[in-house]
A and B are shown apart, each in its own frame.
Chain A
Amino acid sequence: MALMRSVFYVPANNPKFIEKATTLPCDIVTLDIEDSVAPAEKAAARKLAAESFSKFADLKAELYVRLNSWATELTNEDLEALIWPGLDGVTATKVRDADDIKRLDWKLHELEARRGIPEGTVKVCCLIETAMGVMNAYPICSASPRIVSAIFGAVDFCADMRVTLTNKGAEQLYGRATVGVAARAAGIVALDAPFADFSNIDAFTANTQESIQLGFEGRMLIHPSQIEIANKLYAPSEKEVEHAKKVVKVFEEEGLAKGLAAVALDGKMVDIPVYASAQGVLARWSEICEKGSPDNAS
């Protein structure tokens, strides 16, 4: 699974921002043709986005496009304009139910076939940001093998719930946790909502630490200053990596080799779930190192 610690959003109608995004250390760049682009600008944004694909071809970051929702009746035109070689994935917005994803899956399949793109190339991220979407979170997350991630969208969720968005986020807790659980159950990555108060780094950090405890492995970012912090927080710390190495070593040498299901390390029990968790930490660390940005995790 590709790293998705930092998913940086750029309005697709702004060439300067797109150019800047090619220089940033995020895991994913998402060109937005949805809410950050005015209706009159949609066509130009699609064109500029498609023309920008080549700029990202040699970068380590994956390239996604955030689509307009099916309810807007713009999605078909978005896909017709944007599904070309060079695009790694699309983000479906305001996903209501599994049928929204199945319809998208169908259209992607049809475009891949028509344009000679290998089937299944284009990945899907689901943006779950309405009460209906939260209620259908697991069916949505498991609606297509293309789905690799799900984002909890706090701003639209709060609007739909008619509640005020706060930095502490108590009003988001149910929706946020539900998306985290649904994503994990479906075997995909949970990505947290953008943090709107981007100049408040302390609040962003606290919110991100909370998000990790809810099972999120990355988040939507709306300002470059958030990228390195997210990369660091969503990566295992050196201490966690060192501990994981110890757990794996002791369990394999003292447990598995001797036919034991549990061993002790520093006075604590290490059994199969602890071993598996440590393996996960090391796998994630390995991905980060392969990507060449271990500094972000230090």
Chain B
Amino acid sequence: MMINKVGRSLPEQIEHYGKVTPYAGAFATQKDGVKTGARLKSFKRGEKKLLSGIREAIEKSGLRDGMTVSFHHHMRNGDKVVNLVMQEIAAMGIKDIRLAASGIFECHAPLVELIENGVITQTVTNTFNPGPVAKAITAGKLAKPAIFMTHGGRPRAIESGDLHIDVAFVSAPTCDEQGNMNGTKGKSACGYLSYSYLDAQYADSVVAVTDTLVPYPNCPIEITSEFVDYVVVVDSIGDPGGIVSKTLKVKTDPVSLQIASNAANLADAAGYIKDGMSFQTGASGASLAAAALVRDMMKERGIKGSFGLGGIHSYFVQMLEEGLFKALFDTQCFDLVAVESAGKNENHMAISASLYANPHNRGAIVNYLDTVLLGATEIDVDFNVNVITGSNGVIMGASGGHSDTAAGSKLTIVVANLTRKAICVVREKVTTVTTPGETIDAFVTEHGIAINPLRKDLLEAVKDSGLPIVDIRELKAKGEEIAGPQVAQEFTDKLIGVVEYRDGTVIDLVYQPKGYEFQQQ
């Protein structure tokens, strides 16, 4: 066994995963080499790509037992393509598929049956929402351990050859017969298709699945026809109600608002609300409220920022339109306002997941980020963060861009309610390490702000700010006072997941919680 940099015990080899490289530090594993090759194919003039349906595309792609198929998650909880394709694969009798979907949501409940009957034996994901598939994996139903990557780790793995995709199925809100696609137009518009760019470039076969076939040439083009083997038209690739929200709004619960104030004022006190600033938030209530506050501060002081990054929502769009940001770098749209903006504002730019966050390229945008606000299911006294499992060990999420932005940003702020029901979010050790504490600068709650002692400069910068700065152990004590004594979850020996850090090293393993029984609902 080996012990990695965050103190987790790891075997040298994991069955169905391979050799384990232990996490050695956020920037310890660098690469200088040659990217993997992509398959070269030649299509003759007049060769038809438009096929009769998904089955024909699967047949022509040569998909067989043991292969890897990929999907992107921009259709979010409205996605229909993963289920359509996987059910067709099952109907064709193909088994032992590794499902490399960049995200899995509640709408993917039909996959549970395919996991149970051995059609899907492994998942590789970087976004996960709580739902039936997460529960099925927690219950140990997958034949092989799930692999959790980050948004930057996935393109790294594809480019390095660690993640080889045999067939990529790309949901395309509009597409022409040659396979030119975009995500910002059509009845199922979901915004830019950023997470599928690398899949399209490196997969052996690429199938565009659309519900809006348009005359050649499709305008604009995000993924060009040179990468696309086949085009399939289906009735619907997504349920618009589940793809994006009409518009995300600031929540009104006072705790989220208090946390938002603390976070925005911390960024301000630390000197990051300034001309040329860059900023990223998620779409939670506290994050949106903090974004709204930062906007107000910028407007009042006449601050002109540089860029907003990541998942784009209406608040960022508003800031772009008001001239508070020069640009938005978009990896996915969180609401319809963002989708509309993506289709019309040239400074609202699509970026690939590699450009966003890949640690092994010539400079991902996360490296230029000033401030990021992130969430947590747990944080420990060493500032390690868990966003993958709850304290009960049940899978609730995946890293997404958490570890990537934490590593790249100058100021990484984790925001969370100190307690959730009977759970104190601050633990002695997190259940699952997703993001190492060395990349987390501050933890902001409604009961105060804990600054990572490693950031002596930050402690110095905010010491006279009047902000409620406390030691993280004080927060832990306060949380336990509110939520009661915390009992650590016990686990079986069954390995259900491997958590990769963005550089491909293993930062933690997920084991099946003792006594957990699968319930679909």
Contact = CB atoms under 8 A, between A and B. Distances in A.
A76 B292 CA distance: 9
B254 A103 contact: yes
B300 A99 contact: no
A212 B296 CA distance: 42
A114 B297 contact: yes
A99 B292 contact: no
B464 interface: no
Given A80-B300, A110-B261, A114-B300, A102 B252 contact: yes
Q: SS class of chain B's interface: helix, strand, loop or mixed?
A: helix
User: Which of B257, B261, B292 neighbours the largest number of chain A CB atoms within 10 Å of its CB?
Assistant: B257
B299 interface: yes
Nearest to A70: B252
Contacts of A17: none
Interface string B143-161: 0000000000000000000
Nearest to B292: A76
A interface secondary structure, majority = helix
Nearest to B295: A76
A99 B252 contact: yes
A100 B252 CA distance: 7
B235 interface: no
Interface residues of A, number: 13
A100 B253 CA distance: 9
B6 interface: no
Nearest to B264: A110
A103 B285 CA distance: 12
Contacts of B20: none
Interface in A152-167: none
Contacts of A105: 254
B258 A106 contact: yes
A70 B252 CA distance: 10
Given A106-B261, A110-B261, A76 B296 contact: yes
A203 to B, nearest CB: 39
Contacts of A102: 252-254, 257
A80 B299 contact: yes
B252 A80 contact: no
A98 B300 CA distance: 28
A100 B257 CA distance: 12
B257 A103 contact: yes
Contacts of A99: 252-254
Interface in B205-259: 249, 252-254, 257-258
A110 to B, nearest CB: 6
Interface in A102-141: 102-103, 105-106, 109-110, 114
Contacts of B249: 73
B243 to A, nearest CB: 22
Nearest to A76: B292
9 contacts: A70-B252, A80-B299, A80-B300, A99-B254, A102-B252, A102-B254, A106-B258, A110-B261, A114-B297
